[in-house]
Structures are given as C-alpha cells and as structure tokens.
Amino acid sequence: METTLRGVGVSHGVAIGEVRHMGTAVLEPPAKQIPAEDAEREQGRARQAVEAVAADLIARGNLAGGEAQHVLEAQAMMAQDPELMADVERRIAVGSTAERGVYDAFASYRALLANAGEYLAGRVADLDDVRNRIVARLLGVPMPGVPDSDEPYVLIARDLAPADTALLDPALVLGFVTEEGGPTSHSAILARALGVPAVVALPGAGELAEGTVIAVDGSTGEIFVEPSAEKRAEMESAAAARKAALSASTGPGATSDGHKVPLLANVGGPGDVPAAVAAGAEGVGLFRTEFLFLDDSTQAPSEETQVAAYRAVLEAFPEGRVVVRVLDAGADKPLDFLTPADEPNPALGVRGLRSLLDHPDVLRTQLTALAKAAEGLPVHLEVMAPMVADRTDAKAFADACREAGLGAKFGAMVEIPSAALRARSILREVEFLSLGTNDLAQYTFAADRQVGAVSRLQDPWQPALLDLVALSTQAAGAEGKSCGVCGEAASDPLLACVLTGLGVTSLSMGAASIPYVRATLAKYTLAQCERAASAARATDSAEEARMAAQAVLSGE
C-alpha cells in the first residue's frame, strides 16, 4: 500500500527504484592490552593505515574532480591531523592496539565537536567516516560504503560521507535518502553537483526494508513507498516534462517579461569551471578560494601559485563577472598558520575577515595575486569579504583592497544578521552585497547547518530569513548598488523566483542547478515573483511560505 514520507529535498529530480542500504559501519574494536614491546610495531601499523586512508581519499578526489576533490582533500587532512596522530600513539604507548588507539582518539575528538553544538559539529560525520576507514584497514575488513549492485537502486543511509557521495555512479545510484544531514551539508552540495536526486533529514529512513520500491522527489522532499502505477506514471511524466523544459531553456537568466537576473556559478577552483560553462553560467558568483589554502594548512600558498589558480578561472569567463571571496578560514576550515587552535566557540570567533585582518600580510598577498591574475583580461573582477559584521569591517576590507592596488569592485557578504540589519551603512564603504544564505540561516536561528535535527530552521524558506534578504536588497536599491545571493537558496527554482521578487539582482549556485532555475524564472513575470515574495513573507513557517509562493505562481 502506498505511503508518503517527507524529508528535505536537496537535489532536483525524480528517482524510482529498489532500496539498497549503505554498508554497516565498522564495529568497535575490542579493548585489549598489548605488551610494551609491541607498542612500536602497533604505532607503525596505525601510521601506515592513516597514510593509506589519506591517499585513498585524495585518489577519490582526483577521480571526482571539482567541488568533491576539495572536500575529500580536506578530509584527508583530517585523517593526517598531527594532534590526533599524537593522541593515537600515546594510547598505544600505554597498551592499546593500533585499532583501539585510533578508535578512542577519534572518539575523544568527536565528543569535543559534538558537545560544542557549533558549526564544527557538522564535521562529525566526516570524522566518523575517516575513523571507520582507518579502523577497517587495521582490522582487515571491507570498508564501509556504497553497496555493490548490478542493477540501479536508491541508496539509503544514516548519513553519507563526502568520500561516498563524490564517487556515486549516477547510472547505478538513481538517488539517495538519508536520516541525517541538512540542505547545506557537504553531501547535499555534492549531490547537486552530480545531478543525483536526494532527500535528507528523513526520520526512519533506515527502517525502509531492503528491496522496497520507493519514488524520491528531490525537489519536494517527498518519498512514496511502494508507489502505485498511477503515481509512478505521474512522477515520470513530470520528470520528462521538466527535462524537456530544461532543454528548451537557454541564454541569460530572465523573467518572462525580460527582467534580467544573471545566473552565476559557485566554484571552488579551475576544476569546477567546465561544468559551469556547460550549464551556461553567465559568470561566477562565488569563487571559494579557501580550498587553495587547504592544500597545506601550515603556510599560505605563494603569490605565484595563487595567480595561476585565479587566472585559470578568470580566463574561462571573458567579459563575464567573476566574484571572488577572499579566504574564509576558521570554524570548519581551520588553518594552522592563521586560526587560533584553542577557541571555545570557533564559529563565533576569529573567522573569515576577522582572521585576515589579524594577518594583513595574508590578505595583502591574496589581493595582490588577484590583481595580477586579472591583468590584461576583459573579465569583470569583483572581490568580497566573508563574515562582515558592520561598517567598521567593511571599511577595513575596502581600505585593504585600495592599498593593494586592486582595481576590481569590492563588496561584503551578508552572513551575519547584523550585516542585513545595517546593510545601508555597510554599503557606504563597499560597492555590492552578496547574501550567503547558508551561514545567514545558521546564525539567524542558532541552528548548525549540518545537524538534521534542526533542519527546519536551516530551511531558506523561513520567513525571518526572507525578511533579512528584503532588508539587504532594499538597502542596496536605495544606494543604487547590487545585492546577489550566492548561498544554496539560489539553487531552489521556486525560491529563486521569490528572491527575484525580493529584489535580488543575481543568483549564484552549483552548475547543475542553473538550467532548472533558468527554466523556472522564464515562466513568470517580475510582478508575479514580487507577489509570490510578499505572500511568502506574510506567513509564519517555511512550509507555509513555500505553499503561499507556489499558490501565487500557479495562479491559485
């Protein structure tokens, strides 16, 4: 009998197939003592396993490329963390086996992250995956991971680590459903990049029996268990219509009455550029430069290295707009040479622009490298600072840009509620705003963006978040300046219409989402988008806001 479940849709599309469950996690190794003379050998085993797992993660990243490569390289660094390894070796020295030493050291660090209740807690799933892979290698058992199957299936998991998501084969994995996670988790972002329909934060997903046929709607978050023939036909027809609409939609982003809304791509480096170009991106709305710095957490990359990486992206969009975010270090992206190691609350501490202002040489080198990378190119370079809190922050960044001789426009990201509330003040120092809706939601609702239990508060449809967007766009309009969105909210086609109605001047997203947003925008006039935005803001919950906007746009 058909039943309906609802999670959070994070990647568009429809998947219909049999359930297959993720491989079980590694069991806890036994706590047995080893003789003192075996300690050195066990420490060697632990080091070898760590290096092997790190090498495997890097190899997976090289195969996957793009956004996935950066995520997996960061995870490899997690495996090789010197403090963790020192803790493992200390435990082995007092009698633990290699596998038990790894398990206990990771458990200790895991507890610190989980109990902090902060942004860093969102990396618990990544940490667990690294631990499981190291312990599995030491025990000589199969790695936890995606099941082997000759037939296509829908993957069910408690959560998916980036290492698993990155190498999903869309020909076999029709879609995936997880119990944990949120709309801005690593797995959600990678699912969108792969074009795999996905639903997260679905309570009880693990209880779906192996082999059960389910239909997954990655747009609405609905799961239909044992769907009827009519339901399957309905979903397949809708998917076919959507595919046809995507194929027919080309050119710059615009509403049906010609109001232009440039559709830009979020990229992490040169590896993400081909997909953005293929999707028809009109430029880059968010170039995340921190992945260049994560290659070596002990020192900043040289100016020459930075120039080469930046120029490779700038050259791909001749006469297009490329918006670069300067280094956003701290919280879940710690760098040994830049961020404090002992902050009790990293997400609320010295992060983003605050780190750079404490290390002006790092900021100066990056700004100089960007200026040199753009020399001789017709590209419209814009540079923005992350985690701007007020006018003082904005002025400090603008002054640094001028001192570095940067001829580009410079702007501020709106990720902290204070920046939205005082946007007009900030705009007296900078030339544009860009809304990072992922962090703006996290800080507005005190809800970690990686924790499924608070996913309703991470939903970008929350009316309070839409109010902050409206405050920012109104301020930009009053100052005659632009205000774009580069958070994951822009990848939701319906929400993209609402954001347009709120006055957002450009939308930036993962490349795979651009065709969906372009096709949806082209169906409605600016006036319809404005009415949908007003209707959404007049509600009291994310679900009500979504339904109200849908009703307006469907003419109900």
Backbone phi and psi for residue 431, each to the nearest 5 degrees, phi listed first = -100, -10
**Which distant-in-sequence residues (6+ apart) come within 8 Å of 281 by Cβ?**
263, 264, 265, 317, 511, 514
Among residues 12, 70, 359, 486, which one is catalytic? Answer: 486
Distance CA(495)–CA(461), nearest Å, equals 7
Question: How would you label 131-154 residue by residue, b for 16+ Cβ within 10 Å and e otherwise?
Answer: bbbbbbbbeeeebbbbeeeeebbb
Distance CA(18)–CA(88), nearest Å, equals 41
Tokens of 386: 């992350």
**Which distant-in-sequence residues (6+ apart) come within 8 Å of 169 by Cβ?**
none
β-pairing, 3-6 vs 222-225, is antiparallel
Distance CA(363)–CA(293), nearest Å, equals 12
Distance CA(253)–CA(267), nearest Å, equals 18
Q: Where are the beta strands (DSSP E) in 86-230?
A: 153-157, 173-178, 198-200, 213-217, 222-225
Q: What is the dihedral of CA 60, 62, 67, 72, to 10 degrees?
A: 40
Among residues 12, 70, 186, 359, which one is catalytic? Answer: 186
CA distances from 518 to 493, 522, 526 (A): 8, 6, 14
- Is residue 17 within a helix (H) or strand (E), and if so which, with residue range? strand 14-21
Closest CA to 163 of 88, 271, 79, 98: 79
β-bridge partners, 225: 3, 214
Find how far residue 523's CA is from the centre of its chain. Answer: 28
CA distances from 521 to 263, 452, 495 (A): 10, 30, 10
β-bridge partners, 16: 215
Q: How many CA atoms lie within 13 A of 293 on its CB side?
A: 23
483 is an active site residue: no
21 is an active site residue: no
Residue type, 475: A
Active site residues: 186, 486
